[in-house]
A = this chain, B = another copy of it.
């Protein structure tokens, strides 16, 4: 008998029928002899509808009250799920984030978890009940106000409670069958990855794979909590994210293990043209962008031209923040003395992720060669220990993903019957 934490997203509980289906799945895990804790998100589009409602009342709603409003969403889904489980003859008790002991800081809208004290959850389990917990929410340590955790909050709630309860595993249910070697909508022959390390999953998430949020993987890695990412629409095994990659294949230990190819179309590129080649100019530029609250991803600085002592600095950022970035830089143009700005949101990023990549120089050569053969021009390159990312034209992303996937022999013999993202609603 084990303790399992399951997390179901909004699309898994989109309507009454979906709630009942999820209830059956939960009861099945209980019947197998497990103690079961379930984290649930708000139903379908509830959160967006509540945001709409807030906009109709107030142009700039305060964080405390917006969190109070939004947390109504999980309150509904968790109560409904507990009812549906009750109809199947098992007792379930729902708990808000606050009741479940999810203690956070006071930053409304994107609070960080600072402690988890799941006494009431432990007690419910001891009483033989299934515990249903609202994802995405907590209570602030200082003011006892209700908070929300922001993006990836429900996944993070699940991992945090799993760690605090010393669960055997944290199952994240989603609408795909697991982590794939590439987006099957682009590469129909992409394979499910049976297992992947925390570090590789972090690089995949940072490179645009939307299946797990960076934050949840970071939390799991810190507490060494195994995550099982799987579909709520099938009983197949999904992908295990854990300490060491123990795939069903036994690869040659000296060969680099490639996890997959990720891509991201949500970024834009800013080039600062003609920056005087003086100490501290780059620092001034990136400080101004950071002060505007913009996260920068890749940075490339060219060698300065000998005749002008000027250089170009390019970086990528979320396209949503493009305007903020350009405004911040325009404000310091005179002070820094650069010549102009170029903004380009027609780019895409393609990344190859896998362990042991750096020690195998052949990996970069194969990657660049495959893109050249496919006629894809590379605009920027960035590498880490276990990742190589390139920025290409947006319209070349699909070609690049397919070319790299094939070049590293990731194609499976048969097409798996999945759709990557956005089913079942």
The number of times this chain is found in the oligomer is 2
CB-CB contacts below 8 Å: A56-73 with B:
56-62, 64-66, 68-69, 71-73
A83 lies within 8 A of chain B by Cβ: yes
Main secondary structure of the interface of A (DSSP, over half): helix
In the complex where A53-B16, A53-B80 touch, is A68 in contact with B61 (Cβ < 8 A)? no
CA distance A99 to B54 in the complex (A): 22
Contact of A75 among B16, B59, B72, B83 (CB under 8 A): B72
Whether B76 contacts A61 by the Cβ 8 Å rule is no
Whether B82 contacts A78 by the Cβ 8 Å rule is no
CA distance A87 to B66 in the complex (A): 13
Q: Which 4 A-B pairs have the closest CB atoms?
A: A69-B79, A16-B56, A68-B79, A58-B83
A86 lies within 8 A of chain B by Cβ: yes
CA distance A71 to B146 in the complex (A): 15
Known pairs A58-B86, A65-B79; list 12 more (Cβ under 8 Å).
Answer: A16-B53, A50-B76, A54-B79, A57-B84, A58-B83, A59-B87, A61-B83, A62-B86, A65-B94, A69-B83, A72-B73, A72-B76
Interface size on A, as a range, is 35 or more
A220 lies within 8 A of chain B by Cβ: no
**Can you list 25 contacts pairing A with B, beta carbon distance less than 8 Å?**
A16-B56, A50-B76, A53-B76, A53-B80, A57-B83, A57-B84, A60-B87, A61-B86, A62-B82, A62-B83, A62-B86, A64-B93, A65-B83, A65-B86, A65-B92, A66-B79, A66-B83, A68-B78, A68-B82, A68-B94, A69-B83, A71-B75, A72-B73, A72-B79, A120-B144
Whether A19 contacts B79 by the Cβ 8 Å rule is no
- Shortest Cβ distance from residue A145 to the other chain B in the assembled complex, whole angstroms: 8
Which residues of B lie under 8 Å from residue A405 when comparing CB positions? none
In the complex where A56-B16, A80-B54 touch, is A69 in contact with B75 (Cβ < 8 A)? yes
A20 lies within 8 A of chain B by Cβ: yes
- Shortest Cβ distance from residue A103 to the other chain B in the assembled complex, whole angstroms: 16
Most B Cβ at <10 Å: residue of A16, A53, A58: A58
